[in-house]
């Protein structure tokens, strides 16, 4: 007999996927994240849309795993984006998503004036 997954664990996995998707969205919009990292997610989406798969969906559907390879590609791309993005940027967005108030930081230009 198969063991059933704990419903709380499924909710935890879903919550983690939602957190990762929200973080990825924030990182995609942040100009401090390098373009080559931002391209990971659209390239993964293009793979999902591409008709040629590592595991063809029709064959995989017969085996009961359906679109597992497509989902895995998206998850890996998002995890790479988060893992390779500048740590301080990820931390800022993590704090923002968690509702942690930002320190009173001002970003300003300055110039030196000599007498």
- Written as one string, the DSSP assignment of 29-42 is H-TTS-HHHHTHHH
Output the pTM of the full model.
Answer: 0.70
Q: Compute the C-alpha angle 30/32/34, nearest 5°.
A: 100
Per-residue confidence (pLDDT) for residue 70, from 0 to 100:
79
Give the pLDDT confidence of 34-77 residue by residue, as tens digits.
999 999 999 999 988 887 766 666 666 666 565 677 788 899 99
């Amino acid at each position: 007999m198969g063991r059933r997954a704990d419903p709380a664990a499924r909710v935890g996995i879903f919550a983690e996927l939602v957190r990762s998707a929200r973080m990825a969205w924030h990182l995609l919009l942040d100009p401090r994240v390098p373009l080559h990292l931002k391209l990971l997610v659209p390239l993964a989406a293009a793979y999902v849309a591409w008709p040629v798969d590592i595991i063809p969906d029709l064959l995989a559907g017969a085996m009961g795993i359906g679109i597992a390879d497509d989902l895995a590609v998206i998850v890996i791309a998002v995890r790479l984006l988060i893992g390779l993005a500048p740590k301080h940027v990820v931390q800022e967005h993590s704090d923002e998503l968690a509702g942690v108030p930002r320190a009173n930081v001002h970003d300003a230009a300055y110039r030196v004036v000599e007498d």
